[in-house]
Structure 1
Amino acid sequence: MSAAANSRNLLKTIPGLLISAFFLWYTFRNIHLDEFRALRAAHPAWILGVLGFTLGSYTLRCVRWSQMMPHNGRSLRDHFAVCARVLMTSLAANNILPLRIGDIMRIFTYADDLGTSPSIILSTVILEKLLDIFVLVLMFVATVGNIATPHLRLIANISLAVSAIGLLILLVGARSLQSPVQRLFARLPAGPLLKKIEHWVTLALDATGRLGVTGSLLLLLQTVIIWTCEGMIFLSALRLLGLSVDDIAAWLSVSFANLSYLIPSSPGAIGPFELAVKTSLVNHGATISQAAVFGLAIHVWMLLAVTGAGGIIFLTHRIRIHNHKPLLEEIEDLPVEMP
């Protein structure tokens, strides 16, 4: 990667860092240090819930992605082990490196490990994101309540309806849609953006087509269970810290906080995540200071758990295969953006 490309990438990260700094200031501007010191485990038994549902959520993510990926002759155990290692490594990298480097590593760096092409890996990543966003939007619309203005609620409901219809068509009719979609794009004006959209849509159709209707619907069910586990992480943490909120708070928080990743910011959505959690909890019974401190605490836990697990898996694998190439050199060999 050239020095000019490095400079461009650095410039791309600065706006995200500034956005994160603004969100952090806005979230914690009236919170005193004593509020952080007051954080206590009111009901320690709920630690088991936080740990158990975190483990369950990310284990299920690994299972889901291993089912999307072709086996290529590997045993079920070996296939799951490789997919779990690659997925957890990419999630950890996304939390600490800019420009979604973790996803780019998953697609390009580990294509040989997975025994398939970057295009096939990209198709599964696109499908994975579509499933997650659909379930998160569904959860958000079901729990948003008083936070949304009538106009925002209308937009959210329309978005949910469109995404639900689109996802259903994608899951059920992927194979039969490939030729009509190609003919549709062939009639549209040529352009680089449209070409990239056509490429991504074709890949998503290809991924779901390989799985079939039953396999695709199973992935949707797994996605619902994954985000149920995420909601239970938040619920367990609320009980652990003794926050007085209603039963909806955890589910609104997890949906709103994870949708905040769509806002361009620093790696890990630092800033937007905390504000989303704070806004959710304040509207369901928590005080402003409690909600802000909880948002920071749960985000720290999620970042440490995922980054720590992925980092340990990554380093263990490098030691086992005697890979001494510096990580920064590997990153420099990656493309500057998704294909």
Structure 2
Amino acid sequence: MLVKKAAGLLLRLALVGGCLVYAFWGIDFGQLWDTLLRYDDVALFWTTVFSFAGYGVMALRLNFLSGFAAGNWLCFKAFLMSMAVNNIVPAKLGELAKAFYLRRECRFSLSRSITMVFWERFFDLNAILAMGLVVAFHFKLKMAFVPLAGAVGGIWVALWIVRTYPDFVGRIIDRMPSNRLAEFLAELKLQVLHGVTPGFMIVLGLYTLVCWVFYASSTFLVLLWVAKMPLSWGQAAAVFVISSLGMAMPSSPGALGVFEAAVVFSLGLFGVDRSQALAAGLVLHMVQYIPVTVAGLLVLGKSGLSLRKIRESDEALEEAEG
């Protein structure tokens, strides 16, 4: 186990290090600073404010997944906290923090909370894949999204198997070595069999569409309004999709380094100077990183949870709650 964790850490460090070298290689820092000074401060302020509207839509979707039992305000705080944790610690622990928070505040089972997070992330992956395939075929980057397509397709096949062969899946669940994993899979199986109707899929898909429209709008505002780059809407969309893929990759907290490299790479496809591209990447990341992290840490501080407890098993968390 320790060897596996060490190998994973080394791979992430290598990825982040390589991305940082790529993003900053050959940069004229004087030009970079001059570019940042030319940005529209008023546009940057309102773009940052607008980003919280997108977080509000994310909260609406999470409340839908709770059966409207959690409430929009609680889901908004849960989302902010999960983003903050993801931005300061590795391994996407923010998703686990969100599940723990919902369990504590709503008295949900941990399995139910984790299942809600699963549907969030799964539909987000489908959104990235759908947008990515359009961009990939338009800009001839067809191989870029093959791994993601394989992962998403594999999950759809697994859900189909659960729906078609529930008894077989039940026997597999009974043999799971971890009780917590078995409970999560049992909850997911129950939802797939009885709760995942065509109506559920359509409504969740519509919520996800609105979430990603708001999320993409922040990128469009930074590139076209704050930075005033001479890009078409399609080119700005390509930058958004590629940078979102960088954010989704397991790497550094908040995808620091990886996100900037993705923006520099994608803007480079359209002939944008590296210094200008890096400036846009840094500002866009700042908009998506600093305000939500500060707000989320305030929620975390008032929640009674801690990063140490989130890292541990939920049994340790239960002891702390007791």
Using the size of structure 2 for normalisation, the TM-score is: 0.80
Match of 1:310 in 2: 296
**Does residue 272 of structure 2 align to residue 286 of structure 1?**
yes
Shift in Å, 1:9: 6.3
Partner of residue 35 from structure 1, selected from 27, 31, 35:
31
One-letter amino acid matched to 1:59: G
* Aligned-partner Cα distance in 1 for 2:75–2:112: 14
**Does residue 115 of structure 2 align to residue 118 of structure 1?**
no
Shift in Å, 1:112: 2.4
Contact 1:127 1:204 in 2 (8 A): no
Partner of residue 264 from structure 1, selected from 228, 245, 250:
250
Partner of residue 15 from structure 2, selected from 9, 16, 19:
19
Are the structure 2 counterparts of residues 26 and 258 from structure 1 closer, same or farther at C-alpha, using a change threshold of 3 Å?
Answer: same
Match of 1:297 in 2: 283
* Aligned-partner Cα distance in 2 for 1:19–1:154: 18
One-letter amino acid matched to 1:36: L
* Aligned-partner Cα distance in 2 for 1:335–1:10: 23
Are the structure 2 counterparts of residues 281 and 197 from structure 1 closer, same or farther at C-alpha, using a change threshold of 3 Å?
Answer: farther
Are the structure 2 counterparts of residues 24 and 162 from structure 1 closer, same or farther at C-alpha, using a change threshold of 3 Å?
Answer: closer
* Aligned-partner Cα distance in 2 for 1:281–1:43: 19
Contact 2:87 2:253 in 1 (8 A): yes
Contact 1:40 1:241 in 2 (8 A): no
Shift in Å, 1:234: 0.8
Compute the RMSD of aligned alpha carbons: 3.9
Shift in Å, 1:114: 1.9
Number of matched pairs:
312
Paired residue secondary structure (2:167): helix
Shift in Å, 1:303: 1.0
Shift in Å, 1:123: 0.9
**Does residue 149 of structure 2 align to residue 159 of structure 1?**
yes
Match of 2:207 in 1: 222
Are the structure 2 counterparts of residues 23 and 138 from structure 1 closer, same or farther at C-alpha, using a change threshold of 3 Å?
Answer: same
Q: CA offsets, 1:243-283, max 9 Å, x none?
A: 22222122112221122234331111122211211121121
* Aligned-partner Cα distance in 2 for 1:237–1:246: 13
* Aligned-partner Cα distance in 2 for 1:56–1:269: 22
Match of 1:83 in 2: 75
Contact 1:41 1:240 in 2 (8 A): no
Contact 1:137 1:160 in 2 (8 A): no
Match of 2:48 in 1: 51
Contact 2:79 2:98 in 1 (8 A): yes
Partner of residue 219 from structure 2, selected from 216, 221, 234:
234
Match of 2:61 in 1: 64
Q: CA offsets, 1:205-229, max 9 Å, x none?
A: 5446436432331121111111111
Paired residue secondary structure (2:275): helix
Contact 2:102 2:108 in 1 (8 A): no
Gap regions ≥5 residues in structure 1: 73-77
Residues 170-209 of structure 1: matches in 2 within 5 Å? 178=162, 180-185=164-169, 203-207=187-191, 209=194
Shift in Å, 1:191: 7.8
Percent identity reads: 20
One-letter amino acid matched to 1:65: L
Partner of residue 239 from structure 2, selected from 228, 232, 253:
253
Match of 1:75 in 2: none
More deviation, 138-147/23-32: 138-147
**Does residue 97 of structure 2 align to residue 105 of structure 1?**
yes
Paired residue secondary structure (2:108): coil
Are the structure 2 counterparts of residues 161 and 273 from structure 1 closer, same or farther at C-alpha, using a change threshold of 3 Å?
Answer: closer
One-letter amino acid matched to 1:22: G
Contact 2:29 2:275 in 1 (8 A): no
Using the size of structure 1 for normalisation, the TM-score is: 0.76
Paired residue secondary structure (2:309): helix
Shift in Å, 1:242: 1.8
Partner of residue 198 from structure 2, selected from 201, 204, 213:
213
More deviation, 37-46/233-242: 37-46
Shift in Å, 1:35: 2.8
Partner of residue 273 from structure 1, selected from 245, 252, 259:
259
* Aligned-partner Cα distance in 1 for 2:49–2:15: 33
Paired residue secondary structure (2:165): helix
More deviation, 10-19/247-256: 10-19
* Aligned-partner Cα distance in 2 for 1:66–1:247: 32
